[in-house]
Structure 1
Amino acid sequence: MTVLSNNRTSSNDQQGSSHQVTVATKYSRRPDDSGWLRIRLEPSGDDAYLCEYTKVTLLREKSGRTYFRVADGNSAHVGKEASMATQNANKYLLDDAPKGPATVKVKYSGSPVLVRSEVRGDENKQQWAIASFDGKTARVTLNSVWGYQYTPIPPGTHRIMAPDQSHANIPTSGYKAAHPGRIRCNDVWFPIEVEGTTGNSSRYIHIGHLSEGCVTFYELLKWNDIYDYLIDRRMKEGKGKYIGTLVVEK
């Protein structure tokens, strides 16, 4: 935890009235299996959401709410002031910082083959690969949609970015329903910055049986493993925007 002292802020509506506060660095946690922590942006009052291990700096506590600034990450809320009920802030804004950077290796496996998904029920030509991370492996598909702009991710050393926003708009709940109580955080996707480009390349590490040039965890019950490995990792550079590297080989 980083503590900054001798900061002063107004404590009430009386002009010139202030009190000393301690400004601390905290890191967000998920309250449930959605993977997203709801916050309230100030002063608009709009709801917003943070992924786990987003850094925040506490500003003040007033009327049962804790106010803070979103200090890093890959969301649109970085630098903005927000608040939570203090009882929730005490539960979900904690001291433990992320670990060092992650490394995920992906190795192509054969030529594309036509496969019927036992969850979706449709047939797609899958470009298989094996992902290796944290001493584990998982079968992934690098592409399922052909003849359009989608292609398997190219060999190279790419960067994995912190989650940007919920991807609940792209249905993956069926994969979760196929294994009741065994899959979580399926709407938390990890963007990929393809080597030689800057920012989100519209490719992600995510769960599913349909890939549009992403690293898609076809082996559904391995999703929790990759989520747990990636979510509390950050690279030093980038102010929390990057998680680590993705090494792709043919």
Structure 2
Amino acid sequence: MPVLTNNRTSSNNQPNSSHAVTVATKYSRRPNDSGWLKIRQEPSGKDAFLCEYTKVTMLKEKNGRTYFKVADGNSSWVGIEASMATENAEKYLSDVAPKAPATMNVKYHGNPVSTRSEIRGDTNKQQWAIASFDGKTAKVTLNSVWGGEYTPLPPGTHRIMAPDQSHANISTAGYKAAHPGRVRCNDVWFPIEVEGTTGNSSRYIHIGHLSEGCVTFYELLKWNDIYDYLIDKRMKEGKGKYIGKLIVEK
């Protein structure tokens, strides 16, 4: 196997042959509405998944597969070597880098109010707020579960983190099903690093009608807007861990 260089070698028809690829940085794209790109860990062969705009460093191409290193992000896959079928790598690894950091504002709206969810069919006391981003607004709930275990996100300047993993284990499929073909990437959640803490504070920006201290997009059809706004943003510091600021006011 040749050493990786900055010059592409010519291909040949020899079995098990390989050739070096030009050293390059690329960024992942979603292949479908799940929002997650499946890759193969090397050498274990186990699956891993990347959110959009995760940076990867290209390594080599061999036997119809493209190999790379996961170079940044907020997932447990950072630093691993992985591969994809070359035909998929050509589709879902892009030269387009993330944009400047995002800013999202959230302002409390009144006192908690009991509200029946048309989707879930249950009634919960909701702490409403209005989220503002990219010239748009959306109704969100900051808490639906009371009694001391969960509290609304406190005022402050928090940091939005890049998605960590699929949250399909906490089903939001019902919200997607309520609007066929109009909601996507519902399992891609954005962690929040609460001001004064370090790392994921177990609070997220996500779609839904039930909030456990998160910023939960109650207006389901606004979810695509916030996903599109956040996913292609990154802060310079943090090696791709952070997307931008979340400013919360009462």
TM-score normalised by the shorter chain: which range applies?
A: over 0.9
How many aligned residue pairs are there? 241
Deviation at 1:6, TM superposition (A): 3.9
**Residue in 2 aligned with 1:157?**
157
Residues in 1 aligned to 2:6 and 2:99: alpha-carbon distance in whole angstroms: 29
Tell me by how many angstroms 1:19 deviates. Answer: 6.2
Q: CA deviation at 1:5?
A: 5.2
Q: Kindly indicate whether residue 29 of structure 2 is the aligned counterpart of residue 34 of structure 1.
A: no
Distance 1:140 1:49 in 2: 28
Q: C-alpha displacement at 1:111, in angstroms?
A: 0.2
Secondary structure of 1:22's counterpart equals coil
- TM-score where L is the length of structure 2: 0.93
1:88 and 1:21 mapped to 2: Cα distance?
A: 16
> What is the letter of the counterpart of residue 131 of structure 2?
A
1:41-56 aligned at under 5 Å gives the runs 41-56=41-56
The residue aligned with 1:248 is: 248
Q: Name 1:191's counterpart in structure 2.
A: 191
* Secondary structure of the structure 2 residue equivalent to 1:143: coil
Give 1:22 shift: 1.3
The structure carrying a bigger strand percent of its residues is: 1
In structure 1, distance between residues paired with 2:91 and 2:18: 27
Matches within 5 A, 1:145-224: 145-224=145-224
1-structure distance, mates of 2:68, 2:22: 12
Structure 2 residue aligned with 1:116: 116
- Distance in 2 between residues matched to 1:179 and 1:8, nearest whole Å: 47
**Would you say the 8 A contact 2:20–2:60 is kept in 1?**
no
Give the match's secondary structure for 1:23. coil
Does structure 2 retain, via aligned residues, the 8 Å contact 1:74–1:162? Answer: yes
Taking the aligned partners of 1:18 and 1:171, their CA distance within structure 2 comes to: 43
TM-score (norm 1): 0.93
* Alpha-carbon distance in 2 for matches of 1:94, 1:176: 28
CA distance in 2, matches of 1:109, 1:24: 47
Residue 14 of structure 1 is matched in structure 2 by: none
What stretches of structure 1 of length at least 5 have no aligned partner?
12-16
Q: Structure 2: which 5+ runs fail to align?
A: 12-16
Residues 7 and 197 (structure 1 numbering): CA distance in 2 closer, same or farther, change over 3 Å?
A: farther
Which consecutive aligned stretches of 4+ in structure 1 deviate over 3 angstroms post-superposition?
4-9, 17-21
Q: Does structure 1 residue 99 correspond to structure 2 residue 72?
A: no
Residues of 2 paired with 1:235 and 1:85: CA distance?
30
Deviation at 1:149, TM superposition (A): 1.6
User: What is the rounded CA distance, in whole Å, between the counterparts of 1:218 and 1:20 in structure 2?
Assistant: 49
The yes-or-no answer on 1:90 pairing with 2:90 is yes
User: Is contact 1:8–1:18 with CA below 8 Å preserved after alignment?
Assistant: no
Counterpart residue identity of residue 66, structure 2: T
